[in-house]
Amino acid sequence: MRAIFLLISLISLVESAPTVSDCKYEIFEAKMCWQLMPARKWNIVPKEEFAAKKSKFQNFLTCLGEPKCELTQNWLKLKKSIMDRTEGMCESYGCLGNGTFQKIEYKCQNAEKFISYTEQNYANCLTENIRKAPKCSSTDLEAFQKVVKFNEDVFKTQDLYIENLKKLRTNIRGCLLDIAYERHEHKCQNEENNIDRAEPEFMNCMIRRIENAEKCTDTDLKKLKDVLQMVEALKKKIGHNEQYKRIESEKDDEYLVDF
């Protein structure tokens, strides 16, 4: 009887394990759900402004659900790590905001010519320049040490994500929807004169271009349409109306503080 129970449990476990196809679709869905997050979410802004952006993270989690694939789990951990790092920097907005940190970062990257952002000497360079910055206090300097620790977590999770991504891509068949999307999104935005990504024109353009230009199976294309329609429905439900037009005076959406 016990043997039968163990056999049933084993079969259930095998059946529930995600396949390569499941995982390639799940990471695509995760990246599409990420569109529910506000633009310029990684910028150093007053902590209250960042808190308002961070509160939208729940919309993304609702869209994605509980990820089953290790790749998506690693990607989600990476986003959370970057969020922790950014939140830590926003706590010291008076010190690091208004372009101050970017200038310090540029100085350490170029004048000191560090090969890797993960070098301890690079973090030391940032710390020393923050110590000298006129608007930064000893409290800000102490807070920045926690940010450095957050940054270590970012690079650890990033390395793990890249490793799992390589594994997935060596076993994949058909097209990679997340790559296909990235390849065509700006074409649908600029070449089709749809800067604000008005719907349903933008979605229809993406489906048409990917269907014509990529080696996608019918199953891939169905998943593409289903996910885009799901995300668009959620945007309408929560009143998400992001503006995609580039504002020259601001950093773009995916600006990252890399150190």
For residue 248, is it within any domain?
A: no
Whether 135 maps to a domain, the answer reads: yes
Q: What is the pTM of this model?
A: 0.80
Q: Could you please report the per-residue DSSP string of 197-215?
A: --TTHHHHHHHHHHHHHS-
Residues in the chain: 259
Question: Does residue 250 fall inside a structural domain?
Answer: no
Is pLDDT at 218 greater than 50 in this prediction? yes
The CA distances from residue 159 to 78, 194, 238, in Å, are: 9, 36, 34
Does 8 score more than 90 pLDDT? no
pLDDT above 80 (res 2) = no
- With a CB cutoff of 8 Å and minimum separation 6, the contacts of 53 are 37, 38, 41, 45
Structural domain boundaries enclosing 127: 19-238
pLDDT at position 76 is: 93
Structure tokens, 256: 């990252």
252 located within any domain:
no
Residue type, 86: T
Q: Is residue 62 part of a domain?
A: yes
Say how far residue 207 (Cα) sits from the centre of its chain. Answer: 22
Query: Does 14 map to a domain?
Result: no
Name the more confident of 120 and 88.
88
Q: Please check whether residue 199 lies inside any domain of the structure.
A: yes
In a domain, 112, yes or no: yes
pLDDT tens digits for range 15-45: 578 898 899 999 999 999 998 988 888 899 9
pLDDT of residue 168: 83
CA gap 159, 75 in Å, rounded = 10
Number of structural domains in the chain: 1
